[in-house]
Amino acid sequence: MNLELYIARRLNFKRDRHHGLSPSIPIAVAGVALSVIVMMVAIAVVLGFKREIREKVMGFDSQITITASQEAYDHTDYRPITPVALTDTLRRILYETLPDGARLSLTCTRPAMLKTENDFLGIVLKGMSADSDLSFIESNLTDGIMPDLSDKEGNNSVIISRNMAISLGLSVGDKVHGYFFIDDNVRARNLTVSAIYESHFGEYDALYAFCGIDMMQRLLGLAPDEGSAIDITGIPADRIASDTEAVYTALGQAYHENLTDRWYVVDNVLHSGALYFNWLELLDTNVIVILILMSLVSGFTLISSLFIIILERVRMIGLLKAIGATGGMIRRIFIYLAERLILMGIIIGNTVAITLLILQSKLHLIPLDPEAYYLNYVPVELNLWHIIILNTGIIAVSSLMLLMPSHIIARISPAQTMRYE
């Protein structure tokens, strides 16, 4: 152990034997602890928001969607004249292009109107296949059970949102009439409410209902391997853009090689949900501002506290210089002393912040208005690497800011300190 560290460890935080703890000490520790708490909570909340909103958007919109080319649509009817067929050739091309774990599924989406004896409501009914990723819908069910989407014999079960159920006065097991406008004709189906979901994603909850794809295929006269779109899920979030480009390139090459008979439109959730993802990017900017401000608060609190500590120990500094200690040695003593304060603040801040975040994660203590935030509680996400990086950054920034006040030690004269009271 070097001499500077030994002296720093022997020093206590009292001004002298006749006085108690210097007020600068708890202020410095509290400043660091408060900065750690605010920064860690801000990061955890933003990560939680991004995770929850991303999951909701991707729960309604597939990560990558393949549809027929624009020329294959009658926009006045919203009906694919040339539907998408998930053939064995197309499956092979897509699986060779996509990463392991990717899932392909047919969907068939259609505007519809639900009508009860007293009211009616326009919706978008999305037919899902047994291969579809239904985890998002299942996790947000509030009543009823998921219907068997593999049942091809007259399964007219639908999953509606709580908003729809309230608007139409429906509950699980109720019958409702569904009307579809196809080829200038109105087709009706008697539907049964099998489950009710609530994602708190207002715009989507007000619009989307779900059913088995077989009913939609029968309604539109499609073959079992045909639908309005092919959904691709199970892709890592950071690969969506690159995999979209790869799929588009692969399908274009397959068309030129006559492996497929049409062009396809390839879209992804980053485009269809751009409004929400842009909002999430703004949250990142807010966090950066908070991190900078709290780093400055922590740093300036430490600088002020170290100035006070140095002034309270001027006589000790003069004595050390009188017996031959250099300015650099004494600076290191006080830097080691200040780093003890930093460490104490970090330990307290981490303990309080992690405890609060765990309680919020488990108990949802702080509610939110879902109409404004799309969630009914403040989401949090604890990430070990972010915690390590945050603490390392606080130590580095605070240590650098301590260099400035430590330089005043070089100006202290041993002769003057003997007269200092």
Predicted confidence band of residue 412 (pLDDT cuts 50, 70, 90): low
- Predicted structure pTM score: 0.77
**Each residue of 282-305: pLDDT tens digit?**
888 888 888 888 888 887 887 787
Contact 20, 333 (CB under 8 A): no
Please give the Cα distance from 395 to 352 (Å, whole number).
Answer: 18
Mean pLDDT of 42-61: 89
Mean pLDDT of 94-111: 92
**Which residue has better confidence, 317 or 212?**
212
Residue 80 has pLDDT above 50, yes or no: no
For residue 14, what pLDDT is reported?
52
Mean pLDDT of 360-384: 89
Contact 409, 327 (CB under 8 A): yes
For residue 211, what pLDDT is reported?
92
To the nearest whole number, what is the mean pLDDT of the chain?
A: 83
Domain residue extents for the chain: 3-56+276-417, 62-272
